Chains A and B, each alone.
Chain A
């Protein structure tokens, strides 16, 4: 075991900023990171143990205890429950003989919950030893456990039926499906690998930045910051070394577009990174990929290797002097907050994913304190297309203030969930028709951190000027209990995913869950509902987007579905204390006195 630690640390030259990789490699060899192992790592890196512990304990996929030879991480997001997660979980528990959150006595099988794994259109889904299993049913769950008991490998259990597109590529071989339902002109159009870079080398870096600026393309991760402006600031920023990050930490529940883009158009993404590097003067690119998408690793690494062979990466790219750029993949380890750009950078430096104070912004002081551009997967694809087709072409797509297309992940209660690349300006109604949704109670726009809208807002259009979205629509049918099935699930999600640094975010997300449960159980008051709006204004003063939007599931449903809350608190008089559960209190008393007797 000591050898494993020293070998891995040697591989990374004892560089503590590579702690994420070090921990990941050691865990994949030893199965878990014991106290002893952590101590060895700390000694070898010459840092206090508590500093290693800091990183280990922050991420969901690092574990200090064995999690079984086979580790099943079953998604516990709302979409999984929509499609029968309860029954699947029960089948896993019964077949394995242990509860979620534990490992079988013989150490063979571990059952664990995990937040959305980016498979919302094929739920319930699970990650088993880095392989993704989709569309699970109780029968499949039982068969999976039987396979494990019979000593089969995960590949054998998985079988040979693979998903569409590149999912059947020999280097992926996954049952995951892309489900691309509508292709647009920007991302999901035909692409000849290398054409973006070919175009770029004929231009100066300033010309590229001016072109990107004149296209008005904005960040596709959700914040919508103008990409050209970001690049310009990074180009002007002082720094001997600069970095380009591609943010593929797609953790917003209900969002899975980046997974599909990376599966089908990796060249487009990587070339986008190289172009960004060329434009701002950066030589290094890092794809920060969420650990849930680790099954794409071999495939993506092979693409990078091919690009090096084709002179699309490396030195003198495309024969151009001074165009040197290479890309490495940095995996996350299970933390939604790392999708926030400064938390992502902290994570890539081997630390807990805690967002930084701004200023300075990453474009001035980012990764290793050097100027850093962080762009979303889809943004980088758009830039390459703009390079090839021009900004005039791009400006014709979309609306006045939202140019181009948007790739939307659609999931929930509809006949055709999947990926839709639409021009900005489509209304929610247009999309509901396209995905064949009927009897829709609500639509969650932009994931839990976005807003939950009612049918009266379905005529609104998706655009930065109206309904902005980072890329997902979750369709909620009338059969769902909106508060219990959706809002409560999202509230728990934010509680679990807070980094814990800002007081309001750390405490109020958990406290909100307590109050929300009270309301759902019929013990809430008008005052409880009113307090949420007040708490929301407190949350707006958190440091990062996660904290600022963590109460959005609650406050947007209070605004758009007031009658649901009204019915829950009907007849509750604020002069009394409905939060006090009289029956439970009496039962406790009875039990206590019965014991005494």
Chain B
């Protein structure tokens, strides 16, 4: 029998199974905590920091925190909303994001969060990095301009033998996600599609397909991000 625990988010009493990931526990209680690097079913790695909440006055990432009895969580407070908007802006300024021509437009979580936080002009300096587009892999295309280095593909995509296809290269502001040309060679269409769907932005694209949902009917045209959770 699972044990249930009581905790509060912004003063509202919530309930969930003990040890449940805070992001998921919040969803169960109708509370949206934004995420970018987190993805259901793969191990969390609090790296985008956007799901940061305050517990006992300390900032912690909700994706790496498990709920416990009596936890008092602050989520929807000005300091954190301001921080989250900043993370979105930083990601836009750090890479080269051209939404109007992107295949993932309307499905992109970064774009959707930018709308949610009403981003206009980022206050951060555009870095205009010189990044590659890898088009030579048989099933997928990797556009590093749009990559936000969330590590979802590294953690979540493995070939039929269970070997990773993606991994980090370099470090700091030169950090990049590399594709293994050997393990990526014989991947199935399904895995390529899974990689594209898992990517929160348009950095991993399945080849030979795109723009197949008309504007107006795309995921976030229908419902802004978070609204499916918030009651």
Contact = CB atoms under 8 A, between A and B. Distances in A.
> B83, B171, B183: which has the most chain A beta carbons within 10 Å?
B171
B182 A54 contact: no
A357 B64 contact: yes
A518 to B, nearest CB: 9
Contact of A511 (B48, B124, B165, B166): B124
> A335, A499, A500, A504: which has the most chain B beta carbons within 10 Å?
A500
B178 A502 contact: no
A153 interface: no
B8 interface: no
A381 to B, nearest CB: 32
B179 interface: yes
A335 B214 CA distance: 48
A548 to B, nearest CB: 10
Contacts of A497: 171-172
Interface stretch (B69-77, B88-96, B186-194): B88-96
B126 to A, nearest CB: 9
Given A531-B123, A538-B86, A495 B172 contact: yes
B167 interface: yes
A58 interface: yes
Interface in B181-211: 181-183
B182 to A, nearest CB: 6
> B64, B94, B125, B179: which has the most chain A beta carbons within 10 Å?
B125
A271 B164 CA distance: 42
A495 B175 CA distance: 11
B167 A58 contact: no
Nearest to A56: B169
A344 to B, nearest CB: 15
B182 A499 contact: no
Contact of A541 (B44, B49, B93, B171): B49
Given A357-B61, A504-B49, A510-B127, A50 B172 contact: no
A509 interface: yes
A574 to B, nearest CB: 13
B174 A500 contact: yes
> A495, A500, A503: which has the most chain B beta carbons within 10 Å?
A503
A49 interface: yes
Given A51-B164, A54-B178, A541-B59, A510 B49 contact: no
Nearest to B88: A503
A19 to B, nearest CB: 13
Nearest to B79: A537
B73 to A, nearest CB: 15
B180 A507 contact: no
Given A500-B149, A514-B125, A48 B180 contact: yes
Interface string A312-342: 0000000000000000000000010100000
B163 interface: yes
A477 to B, nearest CB: 31
B52 interface: yes
Contacts of B163: 47-48
Contacts of A58: 168, 170-171
Contacts of A499: 171-172, 175
A58 B172 CA distance: 9
A472 interface: no
A42 B44 CA distance: 26
B47 A507 contact: no
Contact of A502 (B47, B165, B168, B169): B47
B49 A511 contact: no
B132 interface: no
A265 B163 CA distance: 46
A508 interface: yes
Contacts of A504: 49, 86-87, 90
Contact of B90 (A50, A500, A503, A537): A503
Nearest to B123: A531
Contact of A53 (B124, B169, B173): B169
A44 to B, nearest CB: 14
A48 B49 contact: no
A53 B86 CA distance: 32
A48 B182 contact: yes
Contacts of B124: 507-508, 511
Given A357-B44, A538-B86, A543-B46, A48 B183 contact: yes
Given A48-B163, A48-B180, A499-B172, A540 B59 contact: yes
Interface in B144-167: 148-149, 151, 163-167
B218 interface: no
A200 to B, nearest CB: 37
Contact of A500 (B48, B59, B87, B175): B175
Contact of B125 (A54, A57, A503, A515): A515
Contact of A506 (B64, B125, B173): B173
B90 A335 contact: no
B20 interface: no
B94 A541 contact: no
The 5 A-B pairs with the shortest beta carbon distances in the complex, nearest first, are A500-B175, A50-B180, A498-B172, A510-B173, A507-B94
13 contacts: A50-B166, A50-B178, A54-B178, A352-B168, A496-B172, A500-B174, A503-B94, A503-B148, A506-B175, A510-B172, A511-B93, A511-B125, A543-B49
Interface of B: 44-50, 52, 59, 61, 64, 83, 86-87, 90-91, 93-94, 123-125, 127, 148-149, 151, 163-175, 178-183
Interface of A: 47-51, 53-54, 57-58, 335, 337, 352, 354, 357, 495-504, 506-511, 514-515, 531, 537-538, 540-543
Given A48-B164, A511-B93, 8 more contacts: A58-B170, A337-B171, A498-B171, A498-B173, A501-B175, A502-B49, A507-B127, A538-B87
